Amino acid sequence: MHLRLLFSAALLGTFSSVYAAEILVRSWAQDTYERSKNEDGTPSQQSYVFFKGQYHPGSYLDDPEAGTPFQEVTTALKEQLAKRNYKLTSSPAIADLILVVHWGELTPQGDAFEDGIEASMDEDIGDDPNAFNMSGVSETAKRSNAQIIGTTRMYEIHKYSLTRQLLEQAVKEDRYFINVIAFDRVEVTQRLKDTPLPEPKWTTQLSVPSSRKLIDTTAFGILAKTGGSYFGENIEDLNFMRQGEKRGVVKVGELEFIESIPVEENTD
C-alpha cells in the first residue's frame, strides 16, 4: 500500500474576503483497489453507506454538541463523491463500501493552554519548570494530531527539510478536518467475530487551518470539494496546489523495451 501526501495552497473566499489557506490532503488506496471503466472513461459506479465515526469538537466551543452535525458533513461529501461515481444507497445490505467519516476541529494550542491551567493546580508537579511548556505542544499531542490529519510521514523526512517544517507546523495549529475511510462491506460483515476490521480499500484525509473568520460549515464544504478529486485514488507526490487546479494520478505499468539508440563510434 502506498501512502501519499499532498499539500494544496488554496485561495478561499469567506465573508466577501479572500485569503490564503493551506489545505492538506493525504489520499491512498490499496494497490489491488481497481475500478473498471465505463465506455466514456469514467470509473464504474460503486454504492456506499455512511457510518458515523468520531467527532472532535475542539476546545473553543462552550457546548461541544453545537458543532457541525454529521448530516451536514455527509451532505457535502455526498455531492463530491457522486462526481467520482460513488452512489449513496439507503440499504447497507447491498452497499459495495462502508464509508466511515471522522470530522471536527483540532485545537492543540487551546488544549495545551487548558492542560497547563490544570497542571499548575497539581501539587505533585513541584518546582520543575519543564513540567509544562505553555508555549508549545507536547510530542504526544503532535503525534496524535499527525495521525488524525495524515502527516505521520514527516517523521521519515529529514528534520531540517522545508517539507518537514511545514508538516510539523500543521500538527501544532488549529485545523478543521474530515477523514473518509472506505471499507469493503462484504469483508466487514463476513469477518469472524472479535476479529479486527479489514484493511480499508482507500482513505482520504483532509484538513485546513481554522480561523475565527472561517466557520466550520464553510470549512467542511471546502474540504469536501477538495477531496472530490482524490476519493479512491493514490496521490503520487507532495506539492502545493491552488483550489480548482487538477492533478492527474499517474499509475506506472510494466516497462517495455522498445529499441536502443545507436552510438557513433569515436574514430579519433
Q: What is the pLDDT of residues 152-202, one digit of tens each?
A: 888 888 888 888 888 888 888 888 999 999 999 999 999 988 889 899 999
Segment 66-76, tens digit of pLDDT:
778 999 999 99
In which order are the strands placed within the sheet that holds 175-184?
5-14, 17-29, 202-209, 175-184, 97-106, 46-56, 86-88
Q: Residues with Cβ < 8 Å from 114, sequence gap 6 or more?
A: 59
Among residues 192, 212, 210, 223, which one has the least CA distance to residue 80? 223
Query: CATH number of the domain that 97 lies in?
Result: 3.30.160
108-120 helix and 139-149 helix, angle to the nearest 10 degrees: 150
State percent of the chain over pLDDT 90. 33
Over 90: is that where the pLDDT of 29 sits?
yes
Is pLDDT at 251 greater than 60 in this prediction? Answer: no
Q: Is residue 258 part of a domain?
A: no
Q: What average pLDDT does the structure give for the chain? A: 75
**pLDDT surpasses 70 at 123:** no
Does residue 214 sit within a domain? yes
Evaluate whether 15 touches 215 at the Cβ level (below 8 Å).
Answer: no
pLDDT at residue 7 tops 70:
no
Q: Report H helices in 173-264.
A: 185-189, 216-227
Residues with Cβ within 8 Å of 221's Cβ and at least 6 positions away in sequence, in order, are 76
Question: What is the C-alpha separation between 224 and 207, in angstroms, rounded?
Answer: 10
Task: Select, from the ranges 15-24, 87-96, 157-166, the one with the highest average predicted confidence (pLDDT).
Answer: 87-96
The answer, yes or no, to whether residue 103 has pLDDT greater than 70, is yes
pTM over 0.85: no
* Distance from C-alpha of 173 to C-alpha of 248, rounded to nearest angstrom: 29
The rounded distance, in Å, linking the Cα atoms of 157 and 37 is 36
Q: Report, in this order, helix, strand and coil percent for the chain, each rounded to 5.
A: 30, 25, 45
Q: Are 210 and 105 in contact (CB under 8 A)?
A: yes
Residue 142 lies in domain:
5-125+136-227
Residue 243 domain-assigned (yes or no): no
Per the structure, the count of domains in the chain is 1
- Flag whether 250 is in a domain: no
